[in-house]
């Protein structure tokens, strides 16, 4: 077994957290905890089937940072923008992209930077133009509840998970 393989294996094991989420309120609470762990930066990919709770998680995330208004899925607008404290939060939904190249027209690179958090639903639809995740949240159905896996993909993601714990 190569050293690189061992390090990748250890990295994935040490920086992956799994949670059982029984209710939508618990999903919002998970989102709130994740928001406080991000510290004004990060790219978070949100994966899961339709109706799995991605936007519910985002609602908890935004409310924890002081957003008092409604939170809607950016399914048709592709992005919703929130200025909270000294941080910009961009909530993307790539589900309706017909071609990843649309992200270039959207100016996806202009959304990245310091004091920015990007929450991206359906990142796989953006192909290679999707910003690389620091952390990925995978949501799967488990009877009437959900199982969430939070996984880091780099040092920023490791820090987010360490803050989450």
- Domains of the chain in start order, with CATH, are 3-164 (3.40.50.300)
Nearest to 130 by CA among 156, 148, 150, 111: 111
C-alpha–C-alpha distance, residues 112 and 118, integer Å: 8
Whether the CB-CB separation of 59 and 34 falls below 8 Å is answered with no
CA distances, 71 to each of 40, 60, 118, 119, 155 (Å): 19, 9, 15, 13, 29
pLDDT in single tens digits along all 165 residues of the chain = 444 444 444 555 557 888 899 999 999 999 999 999 988 789 999 999 998 899 999 999 999 998 988 888 877 788 899 988 778 999 999 999 889 999 998 889 888 988 899 999 999 999 999 999 999 999 999 888 899 999 999 989 988 998 888
pTM reported for the whole predicted model:
0.86
- Bin 135: left if φ > 0, else alpha if -120 < ψ < 50, else beta: beta
């Amino acid at each position: 077994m190569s050293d690189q393989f061992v390090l990748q294996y250890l990295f994935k094991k040490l920086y992956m957290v799994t949670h059982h989420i029984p209710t939508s309120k618990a999903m919002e609470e998970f989102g709130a905890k994740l928001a406080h762990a991000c510290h004004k930066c990060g790219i978070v990919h949100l994966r899961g089937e339709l109706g799995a709770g991605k936007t519910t998680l985002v609602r908890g995330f935004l409310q924890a940072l002081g957003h008092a208004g409604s939170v809607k899925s950016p399914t048709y607008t592709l992005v919703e923008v929130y200025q909270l404290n000294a941080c910009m939060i961009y909530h993307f939904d790539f589900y309706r992209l017909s071609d990843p190249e649309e992200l270039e027209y959207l100016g996806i690179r202009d959304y990245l930077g310091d004091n920015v958090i990007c929450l991206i639903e359906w990142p796989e639809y953006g192909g290679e133009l999707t910003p690389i995740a620091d952390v990925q949240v995978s949501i799967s159905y488990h009877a009437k509840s959900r199982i969430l896996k939070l996984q880091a993909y780099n040092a920023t993601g490791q820090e987010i998970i360490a803050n989450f714990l």
